[in-house]
């Protein structure tokens, strides 16, 4: 059973549609049952794996995975900072959702906002020293979760194949 409290509503909606969607004779979509099943399994696996890792983070009294994603994006960025719209793109979030998330991280002392000298309206999100420390603490639990719930189910050949497939899906011009 999926505990829906930690899953964003837009993900639940997508999974619900995917689970309910089965090709019918009246549809003009040329989607095989196997492809549809693969799609549903992909979405379901994603939700379940993220939920398990979120649960592990909560049990370790750590923030949610979305905080890790922001901190990681900032830690990887040049000078450890990104404009808010760049961070929103990296996080695949709307600007308003990101603003609320950044507000929470700022209140927690994990990031700071820095005014952009070339654009008074613009601001950077900058990871703070405490943000780096939190990122390291969260990675211990997150990395263990990836290993426990995902990596242990794939051999080397499957990992290479999965990377190839996901690269093709995420970079369609490179296929």
CATH of the domain at 103: 1.10.10.10
Predicted confidence (pLDDT) at residue 3 exceeds the cutoff of 70:
no
Q: What percentage of the chain has pLDDT greater than the value 90?
A: 64
Residues 117 and 44 in one domain: no
Tokens at 107, concatenated: 């209140």
Task: Provide the pLDDT for residue 2.
Answer: 43
Residues 84 and 104 in one domain: yes
Task: Provide the pLDDT for residue 109.
Answer: 97
Query: Reading across the β-sheet that carries 81-83, which strands appear in turn?
Result: 81-83, 119-127, 111-116
Predicted confidence (pLDDT) at residue 97 exceeds the cutoff of 80:
yes
Question: Is there a domain that residue 137 lies in?
Answer: yes
Question: Which residues constitute the domain of residue 78?
Answer: 63-168
């Amino acid at each position: 059973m999926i505990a829906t409290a930690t899953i964003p509503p837009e993900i639940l909606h997508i999974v619900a549609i995917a689970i309910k969607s089965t090709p019918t004779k009246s549809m003009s979509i040329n989607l095989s049952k196997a492809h549809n099943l693969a799609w549903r399994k992909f979405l379901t696996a994603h939700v379940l794996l993220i939920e398990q890792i979120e649960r592990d983070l909560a049990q370790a009294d750590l923030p949610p995975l979305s905080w890790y994603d922001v901190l990681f994006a900032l830690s990887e960025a040049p000078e450890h900072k990104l404009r808010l719209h760049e961070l929103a793109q990296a996080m695949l979030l709307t600007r308003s959702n990101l603003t609320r998330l950044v507000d929470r991280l700022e209140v927690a002392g994990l990031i700071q906002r820095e005014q952009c000298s070339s654009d008074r309206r613009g601001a950077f999100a900058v990871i703070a020293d405490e943000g780096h420390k939190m990122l390291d603490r969260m990675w211990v639990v997150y990395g263990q979760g990836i290993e426990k719930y995902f990596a242990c189910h794939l051999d080397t050949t499957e990992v290479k194949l999965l990377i190839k497939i996901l690269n093709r899906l995420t970079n369609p011009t490179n296929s």
